Amino acid sequence: MAGTKTSDGLVLLASSEDVSQRSDFFNDKTEEFEYLSEKSVFFSKCGHWGAKSFRRNLWGNEAELEIRGELIRKTGILRRKEVCDTITCPACDFEAEKSRAIRCCACGRAILRNDPVATYHISSPFINMQVAKLVGNSAIACTFSDCCPSLGAFAGHWTSDGFKPLSVYDFD
């Protein structure tokens, strides 16, 4: 068992064993994006047309996503034009995600903004130090079930500003 202490005094503990079935995404260079529906929404923040549903895959972190309906407003004489004023189009967001993403120290899968993360002490034998993002004496890992052996090593989130540790306020 290993841990790290945050600046506000919270101690994050993690326990791990070597996982022989852990996925290996270290050589995965996949960067795929595609719209799954018609480009019917105008995203005013970036000036592009985009679709409500899309699929993205970055280094093994794959998902099909949809823009929430409350983010889209109807406009025009017949209220048929759809506009989103609060976010950039999914294609622009994907490009931004690629620049903020880090690799899991244990499997190499992409960790994206707001993803939950685990931390493991840097002495853990399975950590790939060539890609590891370090926080103190711990490395950041994903929480996918084939990678995070305890499924309980949740330590916080990866954000646009980096690692945000779990705090006692997260349980209110």
Residue 146 tokens read as 């084939």
Q: What is the DSSP letter of 9?
A: S
What pTM value is reported for the model?
0.77
pLDDT of the residue at 17? 47
Q: Please name the residue that has the structure tokens 């960067």.
A: 31
For residue 15, what are the CA distances in angstroms to 105, 138, 146, 167?
15, 12, 15, 19
pLDDT of the residue at 81? 86
pLDDT tens-digit profile, the chain (172 residues): 444 455 544 444 444 444 456 678 888 899 999 999 999 999 999 999 999 999 999 999 999 999 999 999 998 765 678 999 999 999 999 999 999 999 999 899 999 999 999 998 899 888 999 999 999 999 999 988 777 666 557 889 999 899 999 875 555 5
The C-alpha atoms of residue 58 and residue 50 are separated, in whole angstroms, by 19
Residue 73 tokens read as 């407003």
Q: What are phi and psi of 47, to 5 degrees?
A: 80, 15
